Structure 1
Amino acid sequence: MKIIVIEDEVDILLGIQEVIEQSGLSFEQVFAEHSGEEALTLIERYRPEIILTDILLPEMSGLDMLESVKAMDYQPKVIVISSYSNFTYAQRSIQLGAVDYILKPTLKEELIDKIRSVYDMVQRERTSQDQIRNQMAYARLGTEALREKFVQGLCMHKTALQEHIHHRLQVWDLQWLETQSYVVISLSINKDEFRGKEDKDINLDLFAIGNIAEDIMKNYQSSVMIRSIYHDWVILTAWEEEWSIAQDIYERALAYQKIRPAIGISERKYSFQAISEAYEQARKALKIALLNNSKRIVRYVEIADRIDEQDDVRIGQRVAEAVLNGDESAVKQGLDKVIERFILDRDVSKTGDLSIKCFEWILEVHSILAEKVDMEISHFPMELWEKAERCPTMDDLTDLLFGHLCELMKLAVDPQQPPHPHYLIDKVKRIIEMKYGEEVTLQTVADELSIHPVWLSRLFKKETGQNFLDYLTEIRIEQAKQLLRSTNLKIYEIAEKIGYQEIQYFGKLFKKRTNMTPKEFRYGK
């Protein structure tokens, strides 16, 4: 691949050549010229794939030179670089086929990134079977890719409206983001609803939704639509009726593809710098919509007052009080709020993750209730956990947990309280104390008690403050200490007696727990 640089200032020309040489890109030839006329001679002879040119050149300007290049049967990739900030230069350069426009002075890293992007674009086009026939089409695709990357950057990082950003917005016809209010709309599908489908088929469905949305957005200008880094769709639009856009997309996707897309809508923003904030709001609203089977279009403004992270403990307190007061409405309101909070957690991506979060929260409510009424009201039926695991949607999970909290209301006013359910933990401890010398595991104990091992693990940790294995090890080491001091059994016999078949493993555990080897402990060293 060949590249030519046209710049009349010697120092800048040498600097750009040095940047190209240090970029690691495999250019077979790098041409450098000071004038447009001499550059045209080289371009006509060698046909370099990339032209990097200044605008202001002696005798013939860079843009006039590009006019002559355009007359050739030849479509290079052009990067225009200039200290001139007049938009007419950028506009004309784009019309002449330029794929990017950079204002001087530019950072070395930025220049390398731009050249590399165009280099990669040319490489991709070379591998295409229709290279010559479709070069202009590929140039447009490359331009769209650069625009998409630019908009992605605005969404992901808070960006101040500086001069170079201002000109990029104009180059990509996005200047309306500076002057008009706008919203961000996130669009995706719930992959859990496509179980049994291969990933490639799900991606095709998502692509089809994107095509529908893109076609619809032609009627709602000013707007721009891109793929996000999560491979779903993002729309920035100044159209004031954003709800009508979302409904239009939803209804057509359902009619044509039989798919119910999830859509999140940010608050309306009035400053360019708020794009990243709006994007984050749209992502949060989308997450609610993805797990909400009954409501697939969610505005951030509807959930903004219910996602205060500092409010989690207070919600548990309020729900416990509502249970004691028999206030079903307050219980439902608190439950809805905490579920929405959990949905927004980074580690929640499906209903199963949400079930675990809700399970832990319900246990906290039980503990609060027990403290408030000074009696054991932490009843938690084992089957509730397994039912929660099987809930296919957020609505099903909400109904299940609400039903359980309503049962707690009855228990709170019933003087005939059930026995402490965490007698299960007492049972676990007794099993360990009786069978510590055997092959005891969380699974074997859970099987013996006919409960789910994950539920048992979480309950054991909550009630005792340590996990199952740590407790088992503690019991075994205590028994080993007694046997070492009170019997003449050999160390390997003691290890086997307390459930360890490998004496080396037993020795390491013992040393870790007591800071002494079994032999040192036996003789009091």
Structure 2
Amino acid sequence: MNIIVVEDEVDILRGIQEVIEHSGLLFNHVFAVTTAEEALLLIEEYRPEIILTDILLPEMTGLDMLELVKAFDYLPKVIVISSYSNFMYAQRSIQLGAVDYILKPSHKEELTEKISLVYEMVQRELVSQEQLKNQTVFARLGTEALKEKFVLGLCMQKTALQEHIHHRLQVWDLQWLETQSYVSISLSINREDIRGREDKDINLDLFAIGNIAEEVLKNYQPSVMIRSIHHDWVILTAWQHEQSVAEEIHERVLKYQYISPAIGISNRMHSFQAISEAYEQARKALKVALLNSRRGIASYADIRDSIGHEDGGPVSQWVAEGVLEGDAELVNRWMEETIHRFMLDRDVNKTGDLTLKCFEWILEIHSCLAEKVDMDISHFTLELWEKAERCPTVDDLKRLLRDHLYELMKLVAEQQHPSLPNFIIDKAKQIIDEKYGKAITLQSVADELSIHPVWLSRLFKKETGQNFLDYLTEIRIEQAKHLLRSTHLKIYEIVEMIGYQEIQYFGKLFKKRTNMTPKEFRSGK
């Protein structure tokens, strides 16, 4: 609390100061000035709760000063001091908000008593204001809690739009949920970021993430955010570009908290009754995002597209048949669908759970293959498990399993058709020899041979000792050498004829292979 004393007689001013300082009252500042002008500057800056002012001051009276204080938009307690027992002064000072009027000369005891009474009055008001403020805060928090409970109830169970629900939506300013399409977004922390951390630290991070998300959502209205029963965050938003909402939240959390959050997005819903379905979809997408930590954001639409069918069926048998037929596309598609289905299983909550399910599934495929072909593949088991355990993300696990299935395809093909590898490589070389001048790639050659490019790459290396690109480059350089020596074609024309677009790139490649530039080679240097 602050107090200011305005008195032009210096001795009286000092005397009042001493009274205040020896009163035992706890003031932060006791300002003492001799003019109204000085007082106005201090009052505007510090807003003292108590003003003691003489009426007759040089240049401006104390009462005129109080008139100007009104413009500062606050209500101090004023004690007016004057040597004139004129009722007009007293009347005007009361009109200006004075709570007491003291005549000069006054005794120290009287002055102390007056100031103490006003001090206690201010204290009581401050306590009342704080109580009122707390009541307002508690009321607001209570209102927010009721709103969160209401929205969480809509998320947890399917709710029909009845009249009392309609009115509650209006009370909480959520009527857009019945008039606009919306999505649900689930937001949490990636498991890699919380490993080994205490619960209190995790909760602090979640709280910080919630604050960041809430700030972001101010630009994406209408939206509402609540805490879920899983202690992470749930957002319902009618904003049309939900991906931009998720991306901005992800970017800001990463920037300010150094945490990569996991975010799951539901399909867009067009009816109020679908809120619980949107919530479930977002939870499933969040689970995929948590398992696949490198991506951070997962959409339920992408998950359903990758799964394809609700019923998994005898997938192990179908994959085994695909391996036997050498159908890499079929094998890869079923592998993707199976892994995504495993990710949504209730008992899969971390990468290790997913790894175990996938490994057991691969063993089923081995068993199916053993029934159809006489081939020992037991040596793969331990090695595959050790590699799978070291996979930090879902993408790494997919890559490992895909490579393993392609290796099985190659072994099956070699066993059933011992001459097949040589035939495939001969055919691949023939395609390269015929089409080296076009935009030929490993993928395009694999497509022509109806095999997977990874298998072709490995087979090419095994059978020729060269990788695919080195062989293609060798063919093109040899043809370039022939054309440089036997024709008068310009170098850029030769470059285009052998399948390159950039003459500078060709020049560097040619010199690396021949130790000469194309021009030097042509001139025979």
Q: Shorter-chain TM-score: which interval?
A: 0.5 to 0.7
Alignment of 1:78-93 (within 5 A): none
Q: CA deviation at 1:157?
A: 0.1
Partners in 1 of 2:334 and 2:289 — Cα distance? 19
Read off the aligned partner of 1:211 and give its amino acid letter: N
- The answer for the alignment partner of 1:159 in structure 2 is 159
1:322 aligns with 2:322: yes
- The answer for the alignment partner of 1:232 in structure 2 is 232
> What SS class does the counterpart of residue 279 from structure 1 fall into?
helix
Q: CA RMSD in A?
A: 2.1
Read off the aligned partner of 2:336 and give its amino acid letter: D
Alignment of 1:39-118 (within 5 A): none
- The answer for the alignment partner of 2:301 in structure 1 is 301
- The answer for the alignment partner of 1:344 in structure 2 is 344
1:456-507 Cα shifts (integer Å, max 9, x gaps): xxxxxxxxxxxxxxxxxxxxxxxxxxxxxxxxxxxxxxxxxxxxxxxxxxxx
Read off the aligned partner of 1:228 and give its amino acid letter: S
1:336-395 Cα shifts (integer Å, max 9, x gaps): 211111110111100111111111111111122223336555654213223322322212
Gap regions ≥5 residues in structure 2? 1-129, 418-525
TM-score, normalized by length of structure 1? 0.52
- The answer for the alignment partner of 1:331 in structure 2 is 331
- Contact in 1 for aligned 2:308/2:337 (Cα 8 Å): no
Q: CA deviation at 1:190?
A: 1.4
1:404 aligns with 2:436: no
Q: CA deviation at 1:280?
A: 0.7
Q: CA deviation at 1:400?
A: 1.9
> What SS class does the counterpart of residue 255 from structure 1 fall into?
helix
- The answer for the alignment partner of 2:214 in structure 1 is 214
Compare 372-381 and 405-414 and name the one that shifted more. 372-381
> What SS class does the counterpart of residue 311 from structure 2 fall into?
helix
Q: CA deviation at 1:193?
A: 3.1
- Contact in 2 for aligned 1:181/1:270 (Cα 8 Å): yes
- The answer for the alignment partner of 1:279 in structure 2 is 279
Partners in 2 of 1:357 and 1:289 — Cα distance? 18
1:202–1:249 distance in 2 versus 1, CA, 3 Å: same
1:29-68 Cα shifts (integer Å, max 9, x gaps): xxxxxxxxxxxxxxxxxxxxxxxxxxxxxxxxxxxxxxxx
1:194-236 Cα shifts (integer Å, max 9, x gaps): 3232222122222211111100101111110001111111110
1:166–1:133 distance in 2 versus 1, CA, 3 Å: closer
Q: CA deviation at 1:412?
A: 1.2
4+ residue stretches of structure 1 with deviation over 4 A? Answer: 130-133, 374-379
1:398–1:165 distance in 2 versus 1, CA, 3 Å: same
Partners in 2 of 1:270 and 1:348 — Cα distance? 31
1:243-267 Cα shifts (integer Å, max 9, x gaps): 1101111111111112111111111
Q: CA deviation at 1:241?
A: 0.9
Q: CA deviation at 1:401?
A: 1.7
Aligned sequence identity (%) = 70
Read off the aligned partner of 2:224 and give its amino acid letter: V
- Contact in 1 for aligned 2:263/2:285 (Cα 8 Å): yes
- The answer for the alignment partner of 1:383 in structure 2 is 383
Read off the aligned partner of 1:233 and give its amino acid letter: W
Partners in 1 of 2:132 and 2:295 — Cα distance? 49
TM-score, normalized by length of structure 2? 0.52
> What SS class does the counterpart of residue 318 from structure 2 fall into?
helix
Read off the aligned partner of 2:157 and give its amino acid letter: H
> What SS class does the counterpart of residue 226 from structure 2 fall into?
strand
> What SS class does the counterpart of residue 236 from structure 1 fall into?
strand
- Contact in 2 for aligned 1:377/1:412 (Cα 8 Å): no
1:410-457 Cα shifts (integer Å, max 9, x gaps): 22123399xxxxxxxxxxxxxxxxxxxxxxxxxxxxxxxxxxxxxxxx
From the CA coordinates, give the structure whose radius of gyration is larger: 2
1:153–1:307 distance in 2 versus 1, CA, 3 Å: farther
- The answer for the alignment partner of 1:188 in structure 2 is 188
**Residue-pair matches, total:** 288
- Contact in 2 for aligned 1:369/1:377 (Cα 8 Å): no
1:293-327 Cα shifts (integer Å, max 9, x gaps): 33221211111134466532343233222222333
- The answer for the alignment partner of 1:479 in structure 2 is none
